[in-house]
Amino acid sequence: MLAVAATSDSAVNAHVAAVGRERNVLVNVVDVAELSSFIVPAIVDRSPLVIAISSGGVAPVLARLVRERLESLIDESYGSLTGLFERWRSRIKAAFPDVAARRRFYEQAVRGLVAQRVRARQPESAEHEMRALVECGATPRAGSVILVGAGPGDPGLLTLNALRALQQADVILHDRLVSEDVLSLARRDAERISVGKMAGGHAVGQGRIHKLMLEHARAGRNVVRLKGGDPFIFGRGGEELEFLAEHGIAFEVVPGITAAVACGAYAGIPLTHRDHSQSVRLVTAHCGESLDTLDWLALAQERQTTAFYMGVAGLATLGERLIGHGRAAATPVAVVENGSRPEQRVTLCTLEALADLARTGGIRSPALVIVGEVAALAARLHWFGASPRTWDALRAAA
Ligand code: SAH
């Protein structure tokens, strides 16, 4: 019925093709479209859903590229979802004999809670939603919210799940910290609402953000709540989910690369190191009050790394408190501004130089302050963007 000619001898391959034609046997001659009576497509296998991609044999590499794109877009849960429909098919047909009604049903199932539960790997809950939908018919579609970490700025640091969420969003509520490069990957016709907050001057209150999420989800939209870095690290993601849970709105969470991890990587600072640091802490230095409640004695221990978020305004205080509680004045510090972005700037100094750096260094938010022995490694291990400035060089220039 079917033959594949894959020898390295083109005469043999041509002969196979000719014999095949004579005997009505389908033949594929590998990489020779003219001799082939069928072509083997590239496939994306989410069985029972299978997507075949073919360039008719003229551009297999391009077909493979398209396959890779689809692989990343169509996640594994599509297989489970298709399987679920397979199991329910006859019941669905019986419940919705009218074709138009049946189509409405499927629309709702693939875009709504059934698919959402499958993505969240909750098969029982997905069955439950399916049953409810089959028994009660199409009710107004409930939307859901995906809380997505956008990472520190470099769009390459988005996860595949984040990309999928962005490409399927109807509405995107994003923070100011989310880079334009990341936003440009979102679905073109998604409505974008900036709810950015400046340190100090709150642009949109938290209550208003909650209200927007609720309104759009209740209107049946796929809402993406997009936050810089990771949504659960100093991102108020917890509060937003508590609010959604209270109001019965379904949600998912896509983690992102948090600033400490990204800034460490992009500045050449391993946050832990066998020789220099056995632990890492992520600490907020947001304002006077939070600075007072920190456990400075613990933070002043040697051989550990502390990543201070939101520390620009408190730079001088950070240095003073740590030294005051016993950390060596010469402890290395790296200040990473705009980590992972083209304009990234790294400044290397010591704890005792922080106060001067705060006055004269022109440090701007967003910046992450990494304190600990490992910070010195940036001098040797930096690889991204401009070379680090050192405090000594800055002072000499002044
Ligand atoms: N959820 C975010 C943090 C929000 S708090 C995360 O996980 O990264 C905002 C603080 O994060 C900023 O004040 C700054 O300290 C830090 N930050 C965020 N993006 C940054 C970047 N690209 N470079 C340096 N610091 C960054």
Ligand 1 and 284: CB distance under 6 A = no
- So what's the pLDDT on residue 393? 87
Residue found under tokens 């832990």? 272
Distance CA 274, CA 303 (A): 10
Residue nearest atom 9 of ligand 1, based on CA coordinates: 310
Ligand 1 and 259: CB distance under 6 A = yes
Amino acid, res. 42:
A
- So what's the pLDDT on residue 363? 95
Pairing status of strand 389-390 against strand 345-350: parallel
Residue 357 has φ and ψ, to the nearest 5°, of -60, -40
Q: What is the pLDDT of residues 202-259, one digit of tens each?
A: 567 899 999 999 999 999 899 999 999 999 999 999 999 999 999 999 999 999 999 9
| Closest alpha carbon to 192 in 150, 160, 159 | 150
Ligand 1 and 268: CB distance under 6 A = no
Q: Is the pLDDT of residue 200 over 60?
A: no
Give me the catalytic one of 154, 175, 227, 230.
Answer: 175
Is 189 part of the annotated catalytic residue set?
Answer: no
Cα of 297 from ligand 1 centre, angstroms: 25
Residue nearest atom 11 of ligand 1, based on CA coordinates: 309
Query: SS3 letters for the chain?
Result: CEEEECCCCHHHHHHHHHHHHHHCCEEEECCCHHHCCCCCCEEEEECCEEEEECCCCCCHHHHHHHHHHHHHHCCCHHHHHHHHHHHHHHHHHHHCCCHHHHHHHHHHHHHCHHHHHHHCCCHHHHHHHHHHHHHHCCCCCCCEEEEEECECCCHHHCCHHHHHHHHHCCEEEECCCCCHHHHCCCCCCCEEEECCCCCCCCCCCHHHHHHHHHHHHHCCCEEEEEECECCCCCCCHHHHHHHHHHCCCEEEEECCCCHHHHHHHHHCCCCCECCCECCEEEEECCCHHHHHHCCHHHHCCCCCEEEEECCCCCHHHHHHHHHHCCCCCCCEEEEEECCCCCCCEEEEEEHHHHHHHHHHCCCCCCEEEEECHHHHHHHHHCCCCCCCEEHHHHHHHC
What's the chain's average pLDDT?
A: 92
What are 252's two structure tokens? 């998912």
The pTM (predicted TM-score) of the whole model is 0.83
| Closest alpha carbon to 333 in 307, 359, 361 | 307
Is 154 part of the annotated catalytic residue set?
Answer: no
Q: Is the pLDDT of residue 41 over 70?
A: yes
Q: What is the pLDDT of residues 354-375, one digit of tens each?
A: 999 999 999 999 999 999 999 9
Q: Is the pLDDT of residue 201 over 80?
A: no
Cα of 239 from ligand 1 centre, angstroms: 18
Q: Give, for ligand 1, the residue of 368, 369, 371 to mutate: max count of ligand atoms closer than 8 Å to Cβ.
A: 368
Cα of 83 from ligand 1 centre, angstroms: 41
- So what's the pLDDT on residue 279? 96
Q: Give, for ligand 1, the residue of 234, 286, 347 to mutate: max count of ligand atoms closer than 8 Å to Cβ.
A: 234
Ligand 1 and 264: CB distance under 6 A = no
Backbone CA torsion sign across 152, 158, 161, 164: positive
Q: Give, for ligand 1, the residue of 309, 312, 336 to mutate: max count of ligand atoms closer than 8 Å to Cβ.
A: 309
Cα of 154 from ligand 1 centre, angstroms: 13
In sequence order, what are the residues at sequence separation of 6 or more whose Cβ sits closer than 8 angstroms to the Cβ of residue 14? 29, 35
Cα of 309 from ligand 1 centre, angstroms: 6
- So what's the pLDDT on residue 112? 83
Q: Is the pLDDT of residue 60 over 90?
A: no
Overall average pLDDT of the 144-170 stretch: 94
Report the nearest atom of ligand 1 relative to the CA of 153. Answer: 22
Cα 142 vs. chain centroid, distance in angstroms?
24
Cα of 230 from ligand 1 centre, angstroms: 9
**Using CA atoms in the order 311, 312, 317, 322, what is the torsion angle rounded to 10 degrees?**
50
How many Cβ atoms sit within 10 Å of the Cβ of residue 229?
A: 30
Distance CA 176, CA 181 (A): 13
Q: What is the pLDDT of residues 272-310, one digit of tens each?
A: 999 999 999 999 988 666 788 899 999 999 999 999 999
Q: What is the pLDDT of residues 90-149, one digit of tens each?
A: 999 999 999 888 988 898 888 888 998 999 999 999 999 999 999 887 666 678 899 999
CA distances from 252 to 44, 100, 187 (A): 25, 31, 19
